[in-house]
Amino acid sequence: MAFIGDSLARNQMDSLLCLLSTIETPKQIEMPEEPKPDVERASTTWNFFKHNFTVMTLWSQFLVAAVEIVVNGTATGNFHLQLDRVDTNWSEKLPSIDYAVFSDVHWFFRQNILYEGGKEPNVTDIGLYMAVKKAIRTAIKAINDCKNCRKILTLLRTYSPSHFENGEWNSGGACNRTRPIVKEEVINIGDLGIRNAQVEEIEVARNAGGNKFEVIDITEMMLIRPDGHPGVYQGKAWIKGYSDCVHWCLPGPIDTWNELLLELITRNI
């Protein structure tokens, strides 16, 4: 099983490792390359030998090919994205994968330059939703075009909302709530639009036949859980002093994602 995507893919894998470790203690068989500025951005592999089960993360924040934009020798944090070319960091591993769990979107909020079919920027401002849809489309094509693959069950985990209040992550934003909220209190209702764009692409893939595609539909339920983030207790030295209102506490609401994952796998056995 591969969790493919951004640091939230790693977050979900960590949750699964914790849940499964009550049955068997896994062994890490592939370590992140060193030095790494952030272990969440590394690909890593764990094995449950008694159960012949391997779980891994494959870092790919866009699912498609991306190169960071550098200006005067300084990395900008923005990227050149080739929307019609898959990121080989994960696609080359497909022959060894039975279950692929996709996670992306958060990095699409950056000021990226988009390409299709060439080396010159040739995609106008198509908006967040369409950029995400095109990336998913390319990822699905890579799954369906894989000649040496077994039948892969592909699961797309819908957008995981962040809950910064009174600012962004680098401008004083925080997530200090200590209880779930009700739907009427949800502020970032636009996140459901991202979810809808993702689901639309999976529906197209389902109707086309071939491999099986499912949706781990978590967006709406997570919108009401601003209390589930580590906040100022995130423990990462590289963002010391800032609140993490993107990732999720363990144990915590994210464990529900893997309960849904298990249910979807069971339905498709």
Number of CB atoms found within 10 A of residue 124's CB: 7
Distance CA 30, CA 28 (A): 6
The three-point CA angle 233-238-241 to 5° equals 45
Nearest to 156 by CA among 262, 263, 261, 254: 261
Nearest to 262 by CA among 50, 20, 28, 64: 20
Distance CA 197, CA 6 (A): 18
**Is 134 strand, coil or helix?**
helix
CB 254, CB 15: distance < 8 Å: yes
Is 244 among the residues known to form the active site? Answer: yes
**Is 224 strand, coil or helix?**
coil
Cis peptide upstream of residue 35 (ω within 30 degrees of 0): yes
Distance CA 12, CA 246 (A): 12
The catalytically annotated residue of 7, 15, 91, 160 is: 7
The catalytically annotated residue of 6, 87, 191, 244 is: 244
Residue appearing with tokens 């990822």: 139
- Give the total residue count for the chain: 269
Is 7 among the residues known to form the active site? Answer: yes
The catalytically annotated residue of 84, 106, 247, 255 is: 247
**Residues with catalytic function:** 7, 244, 247
